[in-house]
A and B are shown apart, each in its own frame.
Chain A
């Protein structure tokens, strides 16, 4: 299996800084090619969210560089991935917390995280907060579940998914790395599909556009080379900005073939 990767980001129309951080890379291992992608949406006053998101992206990348090859030698298991990734989230939850206090930011500094390891056979996802992972084939499928108040309200049946779109609490997270007492990441596993597009994005990318629009621009037929993929993503970012999206906007895509 082969992979094409691409990414795009924009600080949006109103913010002074881009607190999103991400990294995506194709890795050749003893058991074949893989893609590792990680995307963090930082938050906190005084631009410290940027520090939080970047430090967490670095931590996951370091894992991919140093730990992943070792795991590949032994054979990748869900358990192994979960154990490593959750430890990283937990460790950085404490580190970022202390950092936030030092900054005097009583309301906290934190970051979401969505990391994806795509092997030829299986995908592994960790998620904290409201960054998302999608799988686009002949349709758009959400692979992660937001850790947000509105998502919980939908689950509890208090509001409908349609109401959630416009709920004033839609950017309130249930947890994030750095600002929770304890962090409880969600893990998702599944089969990697060939001729598909895997996408990670921050909430800024998806609030103003529909999944229909995502499909139109990012379906596998529209995503045939890295440059075209980037253009498509940038088009969607522009649509977002035209529609008054105020947040930072970041998106990563991986095309399998």
Chain B
């Protein structure tokens, strides 16, 4: 026995006796120079029956520990081997073994157990990765010291190292080997790292449930059958650690460590939470889809309603005889949401202007121009619509425009119409039926617009022949069409007639033969006489054309009686 106050190895002063085992006494000692406490474990020859056997065990234990350095392992500082005692100087590990805690308090709190498990797993990982690997083989609460700081230290390497697959001819008792894994009884393959995994699993089971798996009924139930409030993640980990077949366990401490660090993720509650999140997410998606669909449906209905409104307004407009009312209704229908791009209301206006008094007034011109310009973008979304409207408005200008001073100036009208026909040509889809016609109107309009300037600049030569051809084509296709509006026919006839009268000489200059011009003249004469007029205005027009026919013919005769180039 060492005396309190005595000095061991001239360094360690014995402070007190802290424990006594079956064969050893443990003292707390201090190295006064370093001011550090150590544990001094003394095994005395007279305290044991077979000192040599005990000593061999201790040497085996200390030889292992001396080579190791890990925060959760005690370090051996010194071994003093004398004839009648064997003294080990090692880290003084304060605290109790977890075994004692289990006895006193029963099952340990899960969070603590998981913390300890991680530390123990770290130690096992360290031991298993030594060269050669050290298999601890005796993980159990009695071998785990819980320090006051809450960390654990793995102690007792003697018994563990002793244990090898036993000579099983002799009776052995499981009680001596703690939570021995099945392979530790022999006949089940070698013990390896996975044996420690098993024992750690059994230890965790014991700690967290308070039930010792190496006592009757010698079983490890899923831990939540014992305490339903425990984590299902931890339950899965323990079950996997303690599989009978080493192949089915975690294959390394690192693998187990990963599981311990993520036990909450394999926890049912966690999964449930995640599942709830997923459900919420899916619900959000479903709702957004639902709302999108609802939105589309409602939009569709809104459109339907708008369409209904639009069509109702158009219908009303078409049925109203009152000019003002008609105009107002058509304007309203253009204002119906999403209907500004539809052609019906514009065409309705065009028709209304025409029908009102056969005069397209400046106010009316401003009104429809403004409406079309304001809604140009919507209208252009369907070029067929836009083109048709421009063409109709162009004709409106061409035939009906009355620009204010009362004088009916056909040339002015043609000029005003140019931009509309130009728009038709710029926007018309390839297969637009009136494209050629628009081109003719535009060309004629352009001719009239530019001819004065061209004459002044003496660059008019060559312009008359296309002009002639354009007029001829209009005359031939529109004016002779008996189904065409009489105003339009008469206007065209007058246009052609006046062109002949005014430009006979110019036509001649552009190498149009007299017979060609006369053909046109005769076509005018024949057509105009053939037109059946229905109103006074057109009758007047017809009469005025007929009256001027003679002058027109003589203009041709005059032009072609002079020599070319002379005027």
Q: Which residues of A contact B (CB under 8 A)?
A: 41, 43, 46, 97-98, 100-108, 110, 112, 129-130, 147, 149, 152, 156, 158, 167-169, 171-176, 179-184, 186, 203, 246-247
Instruction: Please give, as numbers and ranges, the residues of chain A lying within 8 Å of B171 by CB-CB distance.
Output: 41, 43, 112, 129-130, 171-173, 203, 247
Whether A102 pairs with B49 at a CB distance below 8 angstroms is yes
Instruction: Please give, as numbers and ranges, the residues of chain A lying within 8 Å of B187 by CB-CB distance.
Output: 167-169
B141-163 CB contact bits vs A (8 Å, 1 = yes)? 01000000000000000110011
The reply to whether the CB of B285 lies closer than 8 angstroms to some CB of chain A is no
Taking CB as reference atom, which chain B residue is nearest A45? Answer: B53
In this complex, the interface size class of chain B, counting residues with CB under 8 Å from chain A, is 35 or more
Whether A104 pairs with B173 at a CB distance below 8 angstroms is no
Nearest Cβ on chain B to A58's Cβ, whole angstroms: 20
A-B contact pairs, 21 of them (CB 8 A): A43-B170, A101-B22, A103-B50, A104-B48, A104-B57, A106-B57, A106-B158, A107-B162, A107-B172, A110-B173, A110-B176, A147-B216, A156-B219, A171-B171, A171-B172, A172-B174, A173-B172, A173-B173, A173-B175, A182-B212, A182-B215
Whether B173 pairs with A102 at a CB distance below 8 angstroms is no
The reply to whether the CB of B168 lies closer than 8 angstroms to some CB of chain A is yes
Whether A184 pairs with B215 at a CB distance below 8 angstroms is yes
Nearest Cβ on chain A to B218's Cβ, whole angstroms: 5
Option from A169, A175, A183, A247 in Cβ contact (under 8 Å) with B186: A169
Taking CB as reference atom, which chain A residue is nearest B158? Answer: A106
Whether B173 pairs with A175 at a CB distance below 8 angstroms is yes
Whether A97 pairs with B22 at a CB distance below 8 angstroms is yes
Whether B218 pairs with A174 at a CB distance below 8 angstroms is yes
- In chain B, positions 36-79 with a C-beta closer than 8 Å to chain A are 47-54, 57
Nearest Cβ on chain A to B458's Cβ, whole angstroms: 119
Chain B interface, >50% SS class: loop
Taking CB as reference atom, which chain A residue is nearest B174? Answer: A174
Option from A104, A149, A184, A246 in Cβ contact (under 8 Å) with B169: A246
A106 to B58, CA, bound (A): 10
Nearest Cβ on chain A to B441's Cβ, whole angstroms: 102
Whether A103 pairs with B49 at a CB distance below 8 angstroms is yes
A41 to B171, CA, bound (A): 9
Chain A interface, >50% SS class: loop
Taking CB as reference atom, which chain A residue is nearest B54? Answer: A104
Whether A181 pairs with B22 at a CB distance below 8 angstroms is no
A112 to B53, CA, bound (A): 25
A92 to B369, CA, bound (A): 118
Nearest Cβ on chain B to A17's Cβ, whole angstroms: 12
Whether B23 pairs with A101 at a CB distance below 8 angstroms is yes
Instruction: Please give, as numbers and ranges, the residues of chain B lying within 8 Å of A180 by CB-CB distance.
Output: 173-176, 214-215
Taking CB as reference atom, which chain A residue is nearest B60? Answer: A106
Taking CB as reference atom, which chain B residue is nearest A149? Answer: B185
Whether B51 pairs with A104 at a CB distance below 8 angstroms is yes
Instruction: Please give, as numbers and ranges, the residues of chain B lying within 8 Å of A175 by CB-CB distance.
Output: 173-175, 214-216
Whether A108 pairs with B186 at a CB distance below 8 angstroms is no
A108 to B57, CA, bound (A): 13
B433-477 CB contact bits vs A (8 Å, 1 = yes)? 000000000000000000000000000000000000000000000
Whether A176 pairs with B47 at a CB distance below 8 angstroms is no
Nearest Cβ on chain A to B99's Cβ, whole angstroms: 8
The reply to whether the CB of B262 lies closer than 8 angstroms to some CB of chain A is no
Whether B168 pairs with A168 at a CB distance below 8 angstroms is yes
A43 to B176, CA, bound (A): 12
The reply to whether the CB of B224 lies closer than 8 angstroms to some CB of chain A is no
Whether B176 pairs with A179 at a CB distance below 8 angstroms is yes
A167 to B214, CA, bound (A): 20
The reply to whether the CB of B19 lies closer than 8 angstroms to some CB of chain A is no
